[in-house]
Amino acid sequence: MSEGTPRLTRLTNILTQLQSKRIVTAKEIAAKHHVSIRTVYRDISTLSQSGIPIITEEGKGYTIMEGYKLPPIMFSQEEANALITAEKLIKKNKDQSLTEQYTNAITKIKAVLKHSQKEKTELLSERIQVRNNLENHKTSNYLIQLQSTISNYQLTKINYLSLDNKHSTREIEPFALYTTQDNWILIAFCLLKNEFRAFRIDRIQKLQVLDTSFKPHQMTLQQYLEKCRKKLKHP
């Protein structure tokens, strides 16, 4: 977010950020929204003048008065802990779009936690480490977009690089997704081959969602997988 971002949008996002933690420093706000510390002071002043009960804790940062917002959903501490654990796992996922969208979602979820829960989940977050994908490699950025094409039945064009390094351009009808060994696999009906195919999304070089919709396939993912198993048994 930049200085050029509409101020109302920034103020709304700052409010969400304030609700997501027990204490938020001016430096954290400035870094997240790419603004100066002086701008943060002005924004906090504006929020306070508009009736938001922001409390300044000297030498620490800002907090919102307990009870200001009644959360629409109440989480137990165990549920909150599960969310924090999932956050750690998903941040190590190799698809950039998934990690980005989950980070946005978890910030909004943290905003409705009680103050006592925020303190506990922040402590827990510091005490959990996921050891796989230590380099935090991101090999794809299409998972969330492909989920939309599946739910909206949108014809999609992909430039695909196979495992034996052969390039092809395909028009596909996205059907389902599964993950195995840190790789996301897209199952789709390929119009070029006139059959269902599996595509590793980290091998998709380019993706274009077309304006054309397709007729939903009349089978479930489980039925598809069962069909594949039978084919393997009786090739």
* Beta bridge pairs of residue 63: 55
Residues 77-90, mean pLDDT to the nearest whole number: 93
Fold of the domain built from segment(s) 7-64 = Arc Repressor Mutant, subunit A (1.10.10)
Q: Name the residue with higher pLDDT: 186 or 73.
A: 186
1 has pLDDT over 50: no
pLDDT > 90 in the chain, percent:
71
At 182 the pLDDT is 81
220 has pLDDT over 70: yes
Q: In degrees rounded to 5, what are phi and psi of residue 87?
A: -60, -45
Domains 7-64 and 143-233 share a fold: no
SS (H, E, C) the chain: CCCCCCHHHHHHHHHHHHHHCCCECHHHHHHHHCCCHHHHHHHHHHHHHCCCCEEEECCCEEEECCCCCCCCCCCCHHHHHHHHHHHHHHHCCCEHHHHHHHHHHHHHHHCCCCHHHHHHHHHHHHCCCCCCCCCCCCCECCHHHHHHHHHHCEEEEEEEECCCCCEEEEEEEEEEEEEECCEEEEEEEECCCCEEEEEEHHHEEEEEEEEEECCCCCCCHHHHHHHHHHHHHCC
Average pLDDT, the chain: 91
- Of the candidates 144, 93, 83, the residue with the CA atom closest to the CA atom of residue 118: 83
Give the confidence band of 66 by pLDDT, cuts at 50, 70, 90. confident
67 has pLDDT over 90: no
Give the confidence band of 209 by pLDDT, cuts at 50, 70, 90. very high
The predicted-structure confidence for 136-189, as pLDDT tens digits, reads as follows 999 999 999 999 999 999 999 999 999 999 999 999 999 999 998 889 999 999
Architecture in CATH for domain 143-233: Roll (2.30)
With b for 16 or more beta-carbon neighbours within 10 A and e for fewer, the 90-116 pattern comes to bbbbbbebbbeebeeebbebbbbbbee
2 has pLDDT over 80: no
The pTM score is: 0.73
Ranges of each domain in the chain: 7-64, 77-126, 143-233
At 27 the pLDDT is 95
3 has pLDDT over 60: no
Give the confidence band of 113 by pLDDT, cuts at 50, 70, 90. confident
